[in-house]
Amino acid sequence: MTLPAGTDAVRQSLASFRQEREADWKAFEALLARVEKRAPRTLSEDELLSLPLLYRSALSSLSVARATSLDSALIAYLEALSLRGYFYLYGARRGLRQRVGDFFLRDWPAAIRDLWRETWVSVGLTVIGAIAAYWLVASDSRWYDAIIAPSLAGGRNPDSSAETLRSVLYDSGGGHFLSGFAAYLFTHNTQVAILAFALGFAFAVPSVLIILMNGCMLGALFQVYAAKGLGFELGGWLSIHGTTELFAIALAGAAGMRIGTRIAFPGDLTRMAAAAQAGRVAATAMVGVMVMLLFAGLLEGIGRQTVTSDAVRYAIGGGMLTLWIAYFYLLRMVRHGNG
């Protein structure tokens, strides 16, 4: 049988093409096999740097092979190799479990630490609001109704007797009012956190006012109980869930302030770029805030009705605050110390 004219030239071209580039294909294939079975840390620095170069070389070879209609088996091989390289270099290689683990072990604590200045401001505003409202209600009880809505007050006001106020703190029987009020308070605090974050874009002014007002409500309520000699008891009642919930609200306010201040003072960036940069940190923190609020809701529903000892209540509240501080601010130090 007589071969078509030019067949020898095609074969020679194919052989030359393979000889020049096959070493790169094999090297790329070998590196991909190693990182797919083990981890990137098994490669040296030079090998890691060579991965994108070898990937581009494989793409170039595939382009030439397709354009010159070389061996179909070679084209299929290069297509498969290039696809593996693409998925490794640019694809999402983390599973759901790893993503969740990275969020709780790295992303969320790092975002909270990044917001430390705004967090201090948020906590300070809460304290200032609480002190101001305490003083206002102590000087004129009519301020109480101006600060706390009747639905949030739950029937408690400066005219309530000590027995009525005490029954809210320790009555676990029946529990209809307590459960309903706890659910309302959780919903209210969740709304405060979301608004403090969502309205931060308005140059942080709404976030500041919301956090300040939340502190005012706390101070007004404390004054009513303290006037009847129940301030210590109220602190224990609130501390079971309050240390988590108030900390979460402060963090939500800090996230809102970060966005607002970066929009107001973008520095060298455009306002949109500054807002986007701040938004990534703030959004990560806010996802964690929702987790804190859900956890606080569980403590609120269980702890308040089952724990009636003031000492135990304060121990739970103090323990939770210590755990959050250690998780956000000390975990990194421990990990670095062990590393």
| Structure-block tokens of residue 157 | 């006001």
Task: Give 3's DSSP letter.
Answer: P
Q: Decide if 126 contacts 209 (C-beta within 8 A).
A: no
Distance CA 51, CA 334 (A): 34
Same domain, 115 and 43: no
Q: Which of 74, 90, 106 is the last residue of a domain?
A: 90
Domain total in the chain: 2
Instruction: State the amino acid at position 263 in one-letter form.
Output: I
pLDDT score, position 78: 86
Same domain, 112 and 258: yes
- Contacting residues for 132 by C-beta, under 8 A, at least 6 apart: 215, 216, 219
pLDDT score, position 1: 38
Residue 59: exposure state from Cβ atoms within 10 A (0-12, 13-18, ≥19): middle
**Would 263 be classed as within a structural domain?**
yes
What's the gap between Cα 259 and its chain centre? Answer: 15
Distance CA 148, CA 166 (A): 19
pLDDT score, position 337: 52
pLDDT score, position 173: 46
Same domain, 190 and 312: yes
3-class secondary structure, 159: coil
| pTM listed for this prediction | 0.71
Per-residue pLDDT of the chain (339 residues; tens, 9 = 90+): 333 445 666 667 777 778 888 889 999 898 888 887 776 767 787 888 888 889 888 888 888 888 776 678 888 888 888 888 887 777 655 666 887 888 999 999 999 999 999 999 999 999 999 999 999 999 999 999 999 887 777 678 898 899 888 887 776 544 455 555 566 667 788 899 999 999 998 999 999 999 999 999 999 999 999 999 999 999 998 888 889 999 999 999 999 999 999 999 998 888 888 998 999 999 999 999 999 998 888 877 666 667 888 899 999 999 999 999 999 998 765 554 554
pLDDT score, position 247: 96
Q: Which of 42, 62, 90 is the last residue of a domain?
A: 90
Phi, psi of 265 (to 5 degrees): -130, 80
User: Which residue in the block uniquely carries the two structure tokens 């005490």?
Assistant: 166
pLDDT score, position 172: 52
pLDDT score, position 9: 64
Same domain, 238 and 262: yes
pLDDT score, position 2: 39
Q: Which domain holds residue 115?
A: 97-330
Cα angle value 289/171/183 (rounded, 5°) = 30
Same domain, 127 and 260: yes
Same domain, 33 and 132: no
Cα angle value 174/180/186 (rounded, 5°) = 135
Same domain, 125 and 228: yes
